[in-house]
Protein backbone atom coordinates (compact mmCIF):
# COMPACT_ATOMS: atom_id res chain seq x y z
CA UNK A 1 0.00 0.00 0.00
CA UNK A 2 2.74 2.44 0.91
CA UNK A 3 4.57 1.74 -2.34
CA UNK A 4 1.44 2.50 -4.35
CA UNK A 5 0.85 5.66 -2.33
CA UNK A 6 4.42 6.88 -2.83
CA UNK A 7 4.12 6.29 -6.60
CA UNK A 8 0.97 8.39 -6.75
CA UNK A 9 2.40 11.16 -4.57
CA UNK A 10 5.57 11.30 -6.71
CA UNK A 11 3.53 11.52 -9.91
CA UNK A 12 1.43 14.39 -8.53
CA UNK A 13 4.54 16.20 -7.29
CA UNK A 14 6.11 15.91 -10.76
CA UNK A 15 3.14 17.50 -12.54
CA UNK A 16 3.78 20.51 -14.69
CA UNK A 17 2.09 23.83 -14.01
CA UNK A 18 -0.47 23.64 -15.40
CA UNK A 19 -0.49 19.86 -15.69
CA UNK A 20 -0.94 18.37 -19.15
CA UNK A 21 -3.98 16.24 -19.84
CA UNK A 22 -1.74 13.20 -20.34
CA UNK A 23 -0.08 13.78 -16.97
CA UNK A 24 -3.43 13.92 -15.23
CA UNK A 25 -4.52 10.75 -16.98
CA UNK A 26 -1.40 9.04 -15.59
CA UNK A 27 -2.33 10.32 -12.11
CA UNK A 28 -5.78 8.79 -12.63
CA UNK A 29 -4.24 5.40 -13.38
CA UNK A 30 -2.06 5.62 -10.24
CA UNK A 31 -5.09 6.70 -8.17
CA UNK A 32 -6.93 3.63 -9.42
CA UNK A 33 -4.06 1.40 -8.27
CA UNK A 34 -4.01 3.09 -4.87
CA UNK A 35 -7.77 2.64 -4.57
CA UNK A 36 -7.58 -1.05 -5.41
CA UNK A 37 -4.77 -1.59 -2.91
CA UNK A 38 -6.76 0.17 -0.18
CA UNK A 39 -9.88 -1.82 -1.02
CA UNK A 40 -7.86 -5.03 -0.79
CA UNK A 41 -6.51 -3.97 2.61
CA UNK A 42 -9.88 -2.86 3.96
CA UNK A 43 -11.07 -6.28 5.22
CA UNK A 44 -7.98 -6.43 7.43
CA UNK A 45 -7.52 -2.77 8.31
CA UNK A 46 -11.12 -1.63 8.52
CA UNK A 47 -12.81 1.72 8.29
CA UNK A 48 -9.75 3.91 7.71
CA UNK A 49 -8.76 1.93 4.63
CA UNK A 50 -12.33 2.10 3.30
CA UNK A 51 -12.50 5.88 3.79
CA UNK A 52 -9.13 6.26 2.08
CA UNK A 53 -10.30 4.04 -0.80
CA UNK A 54 -13.40 6.23 -1.24
CA UNK A 55 -11.22 9.35 -1.39
CA UNK A 56 -9.02 7.65 -4.00
CA UNK A 57 -12.16 6.73 -5.94
CA UNK A 58 -13.26 10.37 -5.86
CA UNK A 59 -9.94 11.52 -7.31
CA UNK A 60 -10.08 8.75 -9.88
CA UNK A 61 -13.62 9.77 -10.83
CA UNK A 62 -12.81 13.46 -11.21
CA UNK A 63 -9.80 12.67 -13.36
CA UNK A 64 -11.86 10.16 -15.35
CA UNK A 65 -14.44 12.86 -16.07
CA UNK A 66 -11.63 15.15 -17.20
CA UNK A 67 -10.18 12.49 -19.49
CA UNK A 68 -13.62 11.75 -20.96
CA UNK A 69 -14.19 15.44 -21.75
CA UNK A 70 -10.72 15.84 -23.28
CA UNK A 71 -11.12 12.75 -25.45
CA UNK A 72 -14.65 13.71 -26.51
CA UNK A 73 -13.47 17.17 -27.55
CA UNK A 74 -10.56 15.68 -29.47
CA UNK A 75 -12.84 13.22 -31.27
CA UNK A 76 -15.45 15.86 -32.10
CA UNK A 77 -12.86 18.23 -33.53
CA UNK A 78 -11.44 15.45 -35.70
CA UNK A 79 -14.89 14.38 -36.82
CA UNK A 80 -15.88 17.97 -37.66
CA UNK A 81 -12.75 18.39 -39.77
CA UNK A 82 -13.72 15.39 -41.89
CA UNK A 83 -17.26 16.61 -42.66
CA UNK A 84 -18.24 18.42 -45.80
CA UNK A 85 -21.52 19.45 -44.23
CA UNK A 86 -21.29 22.91 -42.67
CA UNK A 87 -24.19 22.30 -40.24
CA UNK A 88 -22.65 19.01 -39.04
CA UNK A 89 -19.23 20.59 -38.60
CA UNK A 90 -20.80 23.53 -36.77
CA UNK A 91 -22.76 21.24 -34.43
CA UNK A 92 -19.64 19.19 -33.71
CA UNK A 93 -17.73 22.40 -32.99
CA UNK A 94 -20.41 23.51 -30.56
CA UNK A 95 -20.31 20.15 -28.79
CA UNK A 96 -16.52 20.28 -28.67
CA UNK A 97 -16.79 23.68 -27.00
CA UNK A 98 -19.11 22.23 -24.38
CA UNK A 99 -16.65 19.41 -23.74
CA UNK A 100 -13.81 21.92 -23.38
CA UNK A 101 -15.86 23.86 -20.82
CA UNK A 102 -16.58 20.62 -18.94
CA UNK A 103 -12.87 19.78 -18.94
CA UNK A 104 -11.97 23.21 -17.58
CA UNK A 105 -14.55 22.91 -14.81
CA UNK A 106 -13.26 19.46 -13.92
CA UNK A 107 -9.65 20.66 -13.93
CA UNK A 108 -10.68 23.10 -11.21
CA UNK A 109 -11.94 20.20 -9.02
CA UNK A 110 -9.13 17.67 -9.19
CA UNK A 111 -6.83 19.50 -6.76
CA UNK A 112 -9.55 19.51 -4.10
CA UNK A 113 -9.93 15.74 -4.49
CA UNK A 114 -6.13 15.35 -4.28
CA UNK A 115 -5.97 17.52 -1.15
CA UNK A 116 -8.57 15.31 0.53
CA UNK A 117 -6.81 12.08 -0.44
CA UNK A 118 -3.38 13.33 0.62
CA UNK A 119 -4.59 14.53 4.00
CA UNK A 120 -2.42 13.03 6.76
CA UNK A 121 -5.55 12.11 8.72
CA UNK A 122 -6.63 9.79 5.90
CA UNK A 123 -3.22 8.19 5.66
CA UNK A 124 -2.50 7.56 9.33
CA UNK A 125 -3.37 3.86 9.01
CA UNK A 126 -0.63 3.19 6.48
Domain segments of the chain as ranges? 2-123
pLDDT digits (tens, 9 = 90+) for 67-105: 999 999 999 999 988 878 899 889 999 999 999 999 999
Question: Which pLDDT value is given to residue 83?
Answer: 78
37: exposed, middle or buried (Cβ count in 10 Å: 0-12, 13-18, 19+): buried
Q: pLDDT confidence of 110, banded at 50, 70, 90?
A: very high
Q: What is the DSSP-derived secondary structure letter of residue 84? A: -
Q: Model-level pTM? A: 0.89
pLDDT band for 106, please (50, 70, 90 cuts).
very high
pLDDT at 125: 87
Report domain 2-123's class: mainly alpha
Amino acid sequence: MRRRWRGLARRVKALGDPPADEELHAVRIEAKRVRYAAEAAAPLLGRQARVFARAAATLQGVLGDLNDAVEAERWLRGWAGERRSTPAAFAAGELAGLERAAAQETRARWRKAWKELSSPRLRSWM
